[in-house]
């Protein structure tokens, strides 16, 4: 228990960059670079748990799912299963490239990936108002055909007129199903890749059994909860900018070095942080610090392990 334990949430650019098609070669190269940057912490002898996003990847899986159903009458797989697919192949890439990086630095660490279920509350208000778009665009006629097959689904018209997309809830994570194993393995010095894409959303049904549910959990919020549940000392939320900014991309933009919980909440209330971008990261940081976490930094991966980097949120 003497080593520091850190949870590092890989941002979307750790796997896919703007303008890229998402080939396996592109994603492997991006992950290799991020894993190289992670050595900044590993050389300081941290125990490390890695979370990651899966938005573009699970979106592509859903497109293949829809195409296979339309062209070959293959059965549609639910979103929870598609999320599990994405956890497996992203974890494979991270684990493989991290092993390559460790070998190049002559560092002895074992790496493993856990396909992770995250429990949500079936009464979460988000289920009454699904807003998270997923998968392909459909015409109105295609949407109506799909609604006959799965009438419980919800679709919304794209504001840019590109058609209709399925929308799902984004509930708050309640429990990381295999948190005890994650902590045990991490405390043994193993690097654990987990809560991919925020975890596979599951809930307890009327019988008390776990079952998958069509939903999307914010990956930074899930990483924050995991950090709390395994007693991590530090949480690193990685993005594509070195610090959090207010008045971002304006002439008077200002980088934030250290901000209090109260200041972060005020900036959120003032809508300084964009939904779907920086706002969820700041909320995840607040969750960690307000519930006893010691240190949370939002930054880009190349800053890992350096002193006085990124934006730190303090109590």
Q: What is the pLDDT of residue 160?
A: 87
Residue 166 among the catalytic residues: no
From the candidates 11, 12, 135, 197, which is the catalytic residue? 12
The answer to whether position 314 is within a domain reads no
From the candidates 30, 83, 132, 196, which is the catalytic residue? 132
The answer to whether position 273 is within a domain reads no
**Model confidence at 1: pLDDT above 60:** no
Q: How far is CA 129 from the centre of its chain?
A: 21
Residue 205 among the catalytic residues: no
The answer to whether position 120 is within a domain reads yes
Reported as type and span, the H/E element at residue 86 is helix 79-104
**Model confidence at 60: pLDDT above 80:** yes
CATH number at residue 106: 3.40.1160.10
Q: What is the pLDDT of residue 48?
A: 98
Residue 37 among the catalytic residues: no
The answer to whether position 222 is within a domain reads yes
The answer to whether position 271 is within a domain reads no
pLDDT-derived band of residue 300, with 50, 70 and 90 as boundaries? very high
pLDDT digits (tens, 9 = 90+) for 217-261: 999 999 999 999 999 999 999 999 999 999 999 999 999 999 999
Instruction: Give the three-class secondary structure for 30.
Output: helix
Q: How many domains does the chain have?
A: 1
Average pLDDT score over residue span 109-127 = 97
Q: For 242, left (φ over 0), alpha (ψ -120 to 50), or beta?
A: alpha
Average pLDDT score over residue span 123-133 = 94
pLDDT digits (tens, 9 = 90+) for 74-98: 999 999 999 999 999 999 999 999 9
The answer to whether position 159 is within a domain reads no
Q: What is the pLDDT of residue 2?
A: 64
Strands (E), the chain: 5-10, 47-52, 111-113, 117-120, 132-138, 154-157, 164-168, 173-176, 191-193, 200-204, 210-212, 234-238, 244-246, 254-256, 258-260, 295-299, 311-314
Average pLDDT, the chain: 95
Q: What is the pTM of this model?
A: 0.94
Pairing of β 210-212 and β 200-204: antiparallel
Instruction: Give the three-class secondary structure for 235.
Output: strand
The answer to whether position 186 is within a domain reads yes
Residue 266 among the catalytic residues: no
Residue 12 among the catalytic residues: yes
Q: For 138, left (φ over 0), alpha (ψ -120 to 50), or beta?
A: beta
From the candidates 166, 179, 243, 281, which is the catalytic residue? 281
Neighbours of 74 (CB within 10 A): 13
Q: Which range marks the domain in which residue 17 is found?
A: 5-129+169-240+283-308
Give percent of the chain with pLDDT exceeding 70. 99
**Model confidence at 295: pLDDT above 80:** yes
pLDDT digits (tens, 9 = 90+) for 273-288: 999 899 999 999 999 9
From the candidates 219, 243, 293, 310, which is the catalytic residue? 219
What tokens appear for 179 in the block? 């948190």
The answer to whether position 151 is within a domain reads no
**Model confidence at 293: pLDDT above 80:** yes
């Amino acid at each position: 228990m003497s080593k520091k334990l850190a949870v590092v949430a890989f941002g979307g650019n750790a796997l896919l960059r703007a303008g890229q098609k998402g080939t396996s070669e592109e994603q492997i190269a991006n992950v290799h670079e991020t894993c190289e940057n992670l050595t900044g912490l590993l050389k300081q002898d941290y125990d490390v748990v890695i979370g990651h996003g899966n938005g573009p990847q699970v979106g592509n899986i859903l497109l293949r799912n829809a195409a296979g159903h339309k062209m070959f009458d293959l059965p549609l797989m639910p979103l929870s299963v598609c999320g599990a697919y994405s956890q497996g192949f992203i974890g494979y890439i991270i684990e493989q490239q991290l092993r390559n990086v460790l070998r190049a630095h002559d560092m002895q660490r074992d790496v493993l990936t856990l396909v992770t279920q995250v429990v949500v509350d079936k009464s979460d208000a988000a289920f009454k108002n699904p807003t998270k778009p997923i998968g392909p665009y459909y015409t109105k006629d295609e949407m109506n055909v799909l609604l006959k097959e799965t009438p419980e689904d919800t679709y919304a018209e794209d504001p840019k007129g590109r058609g209709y997309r399925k929308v799902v809830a984004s509930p708050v994570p309640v429990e990381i199903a295999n948190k005890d194993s994650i902590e045990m393995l991490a405390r043994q010095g193993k690097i654990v890749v987990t809560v991919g894409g925020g975890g596979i959303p599951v809930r307890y049904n009327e019988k008390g059994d776990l079952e998958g549910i069509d939903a999307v959990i914010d990956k930074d919020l899930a990483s924050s909860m995991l950090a709390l549940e395994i007693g991590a000392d530090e949480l690193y939320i990685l993005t594509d900018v070195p610090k959090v900014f207010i008045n971002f991309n304006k002439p008077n933009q200002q980088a934030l070095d250290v901000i209090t919980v109260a200041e972060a909440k005020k900036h959120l209330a003032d809508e300084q942080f964009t939904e779907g971008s920086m706002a969820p990261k700041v909320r995840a940081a607040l969750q960690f610090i307000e519930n006893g976490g010691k240190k949370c930094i939002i930054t880009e991966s190349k800053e890992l392990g350096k002193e006085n980097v990124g934006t730190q949120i303090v109590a």
